[in-house]
A = this chain, B = another copy of it.
Amino acid sequence: MTSTAPLRTPGHQALLAAAREEFAERGYGGASIRDIAQRAAVSLAALYHYYGSKQELLYALLDEGMDVYDQISLQALGRTGDDPAERLEALVEALVRFRCGPRGSSQLELTEFRSLSPEQHAALRTRQAVATGRFREVIADGVGSGIFRTPEPDDARRAIIAACNAIAQWWRPDGSIQPHDLIERYSDLALTIVEYRPRALRRRAR
């Protein structure tokens, strides 16, 4: 389930956290690897012991984010039955949760793919496609069974994901809105977007 990711020693974690902050604040190109090492309270040479280059550090960061997102998503799906609406809600919950967490609150994934090597880029695109595929599949299911009436499932999917991603732009953990609220509101929003119409007789259990 998790990829063959870099080891997870404390040193690794401290560096990833520091890098995430620096990259988020200054962008990949604007971040200094010296500052990252300093923020992680690690010597510069030690950083290079863990990660061979700035690029590799970025890759590890994005890859680890994917690990976490995958894990959350699969856990959420695991708690549901077969109902596409229920499953879509689970996926939205996972994405909202991710975007409210430390790894999703930056939007590195949306812009800093360009800074990866072609191989790294391809690897993450693949993982991203898997994640997108989970939405695609669920929506296709709903459309197939007639409970999602949207005429443009691709647009619907992209809109749902974009809306959830955008949470990181405006939501703040110290504000009055709880992640729990967001999950409910964005689940509803997602069902609206796919134009969910529950079957008349067989009531859907909440």
Contacts and interface: CB of A to CB of B under 8 A. Distances in A.
A172 B42 CA distance: 43
Contacts of A161: 166
B30 A185 contact: no
Interface in A55-113: 107, 110-112
A110 to B, nearest CB: 7
Interface string A139-167: 00000000000111001101101110110
Interface stretch (A1-9, A12-20, A188-196): A188-196
Given A27-B29, A27-B30, A189 B107 contact: no
A31 interface: yes
Nearest to A111: B111
A199 interface: no
Contacts of A193: 159, 189, 192-193
Interface string A170-204: 10000000000000011011001101000000000
Interface residues of A, number: 34
This chain: copies in complex: 4
Which of A150, A155, A186, A195 gathers most chain B CB within 10 Å? A155
A115 interface: yes
A25 interface: yes
A110 B185 contact: no
Given A30-B30, A158-B170, 12 more contacts: A27-B30, A27-B114, A107-B111, A110-B169, A152-B189, A158-B163, A159-B193, A161-B166, A162-B162, A162-B165, A162-B166, A163-B163
8 contacts: A28-B29, A28-B30, A29-B31, A110-B110, A152-B188, A152-B189, A159-B163, A162-B165
Interface of A: 25-31, 107, 110-112, 114-115, 150-152, 155-156, 158-159, 161-163, 165-166, 169-170, 185-186, 188-189, 192-193, 195
